[in-house]
Chains A and B, each alone.
Chain A
Amino acid sequence: MTVLLEKLEAARKANDLSRLGEAIPYARWMGMAPENTTGELLTRMRYSPHLIGNTHLPALHGGTIGALLETAAIFHLLWEMDNAALPRIINITVDFLRSGRPMDTLARAKFTKLGRRVASVAVEAWQDDRSRPVGAAQLHFLVTPVK
């Protein structure tokens, strides 16, 4: 995790989170990156044809929305916590609220509760209209240092 934590440190110094996404191969492949241009930390999943699950509608694969929600929660934890440990996911519950259209999707996470060992995080994802979310998730992470 050192590479990731180094990137995190560099991103903090530059106050530019976008490079954090590059440190995670899967996030890069999915086109996911954090951004804080508006003062709040958002994670964007850039649209790409390989994210499609239903070519007829067309619609994003539900798994991509779940993955975005999870990734947004991880970026939130990394950014908000001064903890030299990577959060380890315990579980995720995803609600699929609307069909994800072929366009960029944004997600915003917030702590439901931050405890000593466990962080509960709620995340919402939307596309062009923030009041019409495409998905929402509740996640638990273990935030104790790895032994």
Chain B
Amino acid sequence: MGSEARARTLFESMPGDKLEVFQQWFSDTIPHNKALGLMVTAVRKGGASMRLDWEPHLVGNPETGVLHGGAITAMLDACSGMAVATVLTKAQPFATLDLRIDYVHPATPGQPVLADAECFRLTSNVAFTRAVAHHGDPADPIASSAGTFMLATKGKAAMGLHAPHAASEKGKGQ
């Protein structure tokens, strides 16, 4: 991400336990993430990881118990948004512009899904992300995504960092 060379990210200047801050923000404060049971498992500058446990109410195919794609979509969106949040140099709301997801392989029923996202490029208006969802081996993905996020959308940049909505909020921010 080109711009990091110039300015320090908010992430770098955050005091205290960064993982805890992001867990509070993404797992506890965003209602839909909380309802899904999305857990933030790791965060670094430019990257984020989450876990989604298999739950009966997230099933899309009642015969097989395979998770609905919608739950994985929400997870990849949230995780990608969180990766964007780690590279911002100023507090600003942002929102998903588009997200493409390839469903490479069905999720295995009963197993948690893990997601790893990275924000690989940040410009003044747009952030670019990629992410994978998998069962433990990122090289053997369930789903793979490419996303773009618009920066400085309407709304407040809350909570000292960016707007809390940030990641999760895709659809909205504009």
Contacts and interface: CB of A to CB of B under 8 A. Distances in A.
Contacts of B165: 53-57, 59
Contacts of B98: 93-96
Interface string B92-105: 00011111111100
Nearest to B38: A63
Contact of A4 (B62, B69, B155, B164): B62
Given A26-B70, A63-B75, A91-B100, A54 B173 contact: yes
Contact of B32 (A2, A51, A92, A97): A51
B58 interface: yes
Contacts, number: 195
A53 B30 contact: yes
Among A24, A56, A93, chain B packs the most CB atoms within 10 A around the CB of: A56
Q: Is the interface on chain B under 10, 10 to 19, 20 to 34, or 35 or more residues?
A: 35 or more
B144 to A, nearest CB: 9
B101 A91 contact: yes
Q: Is the interface on chain A under 10, 10 to 19, 20 to 34, or 35 or more residues?
A: 35 or more
A53 B31 contact: yes
B101 A92 contact: yes
Q: Which 7 pairs from chain A and chain B are nearest by CB?
A: A62-B170, A63-B74, A67-B70, A59-B172, A54-B165, A99-B172, A61-B32
Interface of B: 29-35, 56-64, 67-71, 73-75, 77-78, 95-103, 106, 154-156, 158, 163-166, 168-174
Given A55-B30, A70-B70, 16 more contacts: A24-B68, A54-B169, A55-B31, A56-B156, A57-B172, A63-B73, A63-B74, A63-B77, A64-B32, A67-B68, A71-B70, A91-B102, A94-B73, A96-B99, A98-B174, A135-B171
